[in-house]
Amino acid sequence: MSGFRVQVLSGQVYIAGEVIDWHNTQSRNRNVKLQLLDVAQHYRLPDVDFLLLTGDWPPEDRSGQSTGCPLQGPVFMQTKKRRHDHVLLHPDHTFTDWNEANTPGCNTAVPWGEKIGKLFFAGNIDTGNRHIMRDVDLTKYPEFDIRVWNWKDHNSPMKFVKLPEHVKYKYLLNWPGNTYSARLKTLLLCNSTVVHSQIDGWVEFWYHLLEHGRNIVLTKGIVQTGDVTNKMHKVVKKLVQNEKTAMRIAAAGAELAQNVLSVENVREYWYRLIVSYAKLQRFEVERHPDSVSLGESLTGPVIWRFEDRTCKMCSQTSFK
């Protein structure tokens, strides 16, 4: 599991035991560290010591219990299911950047009347339950523009669809893959009505702000073909028949993503999270000998192999 240990002593932030488990997680680590740098530059942080993981899935065994931390946590992560009591949610890495998405900024506002009246989705077919689209004849459903393909197939005629293309549609489907979907907040920015397929109860730190019928349309997870051909068909039909409601939901969703999830508010959330956690710690923070300053960790990260790491990733335990 990729991540690192964070220590704050006398207002200085240190990083220890940084690990990556696949190539993209190094940029995840960097983006989260940039968020920490931003918080530290605006607030004086209390002495604190915690584990932060940047993967998609909290460490647990088959029974749902925390693994890796003998005392069952706690850990800071960007997503969890409601059963993951040992996970404290922090803003995910894409609040800083998302280089791998290769998506340029989009300042083009498409008026509602000029948007295409279809439900749009584009994504990898081999993630989560999206494979069911192989059995759906989309020619029978003109209200859908759903594009799925195997992103590893370089000969596929389908290509990555960038954000400016999403803005052109009235209705956008957010269909998460295996865990959470970091692009949900980005879709909300498009000023289109976002239909969110809730998958297995995965949440981010801000999901409690989502209100069905006010700033988003929430549906149960898409798990079988009937959920597309029947459930989604009915959802789109209802939105088309209630144009003013759809426009209102779209505007409220954009307001949430742009103003509530602003840089300032995300920074404030980080600060309150760290302060609240520090108040619960019952031990003195001692700088780990392998730690480096946050600045050094950003300019020249020290990456450890799991077996060589000396950092106690869970404070007051012997876990390495």
The sign of the torsion formed by the CA atoms of 193, 148, 97, 87 equals positive
Which residues, listed in sequence order, are joined to residue 42 by a DSSP beta bridge? none
Flag whether 87 is in a domain. yes
Considering the domain architecture, whether residues 77 and 148 belong to the same structural domain is answered as no
Burial group, residue 22, by CB count within 10 angstroms (0-12, 13-18, 19+)? exposed
Give the mean model confidence (pLDDT) for residues 94-113: 69
The verdict on 107 and 39 lying in the same domain is no
Determine, yes or no, domain membership for 117.
yes
Which of the residue ranges 72-86, 156-170, 212-226, 303-317 would you say has the lowest mean pLDDT?
A: 303-317
Domain that holds residue 249: 101-203+207-260
- Residue 211 shares a structural domain with residue 175: yes
221 and 285 share a domain?
Answer: no
**Section 194-199 average pLDDT:** 90
Is the domain of 20 the same as that of 118?
no
Tell me: do 271 and 189 sit in the same domain.
no
pLDDT at 37 over 50: yes
What is the pLDDT of the chain when averaged over all its residues?
A: 85
- List pLDDT tens digits, range 1-32: 789 999 999 999 999 989 887 656 788 999 99
Q: Based on the domain organization, do 113 and 254 belong to the same domain?
A: yes
Shared domain for 159 and 301, answered yes or no, is: no
Do 76 and 183 sit in the same domain of this protein? no
The pLDDT value given to residue 70: 45
Residue 65 clears pLDDT 70, i.e. is over it: no
Tokens of 125: 């077919």
Query: Do 81 and 201 meet the contact criterion of CB atoms below 8 Å apart?
Result: yes
Among residues 203, 205, 210, the alpha carbon closest in space to that of 270 is found at: 205
316: pLDDT strictly greater than 50:
no
- Decide if pLDDT at 119 tops 80: yes
Which residues are registered as beta bridge partners of 120? 145, 172
Give how many domains the chain has, as a whole number: 2
User: What's the confidence (pLDDT) of residue 189?
Assistant: 94
CATH of the domain at 192: 3.40.50.2000
Least confident of 85-89, 93-97, 185-189: 93-97
